[in-house]
């Protein structure tokens, strides 16, 4: 059956609270990150992702104390991103309790950072997050939490990230983010076919069938979601039981 598919709640954190928007804007509060993290760990989530979503835009470091508090409540792997620009940032996050770091804007600006993290800490620590939008000419990568377009294409950048030592790709379709109409399965399928490392699907979960499709149509290795979990629309145990019934290998 291969490796079990992973279900990953995501805490987008701003000013110490979990928030959620649509297409990266219109943020509303979703609760305390420490409480949510513990609840997800207890509910059977496979991993947790914590993104300090304005760190890169505001040019500051990820909120280390909050990371430590969340990590202390978890019994599952923990990935932290936001404002990670150099090896000392990675070291600080790992020391605070993260198992992996997610880099996005910093990797696009200076791709060598991927190699540095992989060499110093191992590829398994380095998750390269890609925020991309399907513009009229093709998929383009965006910086600073989706605020700034680059000329990098999704597929060639993902391939370069793999070659430089990324352990996973976390792909968020900005067009699908928060809309709850399903993941970008065509792009996911192409990424999965092109690359040898795991692909995490992000952006678009609205119902249980969307997770199934991300795995069956998009061939994703993991599916990440936020609002459907934060606002109690899809309980994780219920989702995993559904996926199991659909023939998808998940850990119950």
Catalytic residues: 12, 131
Nearest Cα residue to 220 out of 252, 243, 245: 243
Nearest Cα residue to 79 out of 64, 101, 94: 101
CA 4, distance to chain mean position in Å, is: 17
Q: Which residue do the tokens 């500051």 mark?
A: 60
CB atoms inside a 10 Å sphere around CB 202: 28
Do 123 and 165 meet the contact criterion of CB atoms below 8 Å apart?
yes
Cα radius of gyration (the chain) = 16
């Amino acid at each position: 059956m291969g490796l079990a598919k992973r279900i990953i709640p995501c805490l987008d954190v701003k000013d110490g609270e979990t928030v959620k928007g649509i297409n990266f804007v219109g943020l509303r509060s979703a609760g305390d990150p420490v409480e949510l993290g513990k609840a997800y760990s207890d509910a059977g989530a496979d991993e947790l992702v914590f993104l300090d979503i304005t760190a890169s835009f505001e040019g500051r470091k990820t909120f280390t104390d909050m990371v430590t508090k969340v990590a202390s409540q978890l019994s599952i792997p923990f990935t932290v991103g936001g404002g990670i620009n150099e090896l000392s940032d990675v070291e600080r996050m790992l020391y605070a309790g993260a198992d992996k770091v997610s880099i996005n804007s910093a990797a696009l600006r200076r791709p060598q950072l991927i190699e540095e993290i992989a060499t110093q800490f191992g590829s398994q620590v380095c998750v390269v997050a890609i925020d991309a939008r399907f513009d009229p000419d093709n998929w383009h990568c965006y910086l600073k939490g989706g605020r700034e377009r680059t000329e990098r294409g999704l597929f060639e950048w993902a391939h370069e990230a793999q070659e430089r030592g990324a352990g996973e790709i976390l792909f968020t379709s900005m067009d699908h983010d928060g809309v709850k109409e399903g993941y970008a399965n065509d792009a996911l399928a192409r990424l999965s076919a092109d690359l040898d490392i795991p692909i995490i699907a992000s952006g678009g979960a609205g119902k249980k069938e969307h997770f199934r499709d991300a795995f069956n149509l998009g061939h994703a290795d993991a599916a990440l979601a936020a609002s459907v979990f934060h606002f109690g629309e899809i309980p994780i145990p219920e989702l995993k039981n559904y996926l199991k019934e659909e023939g998808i290998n998940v850990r119950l």
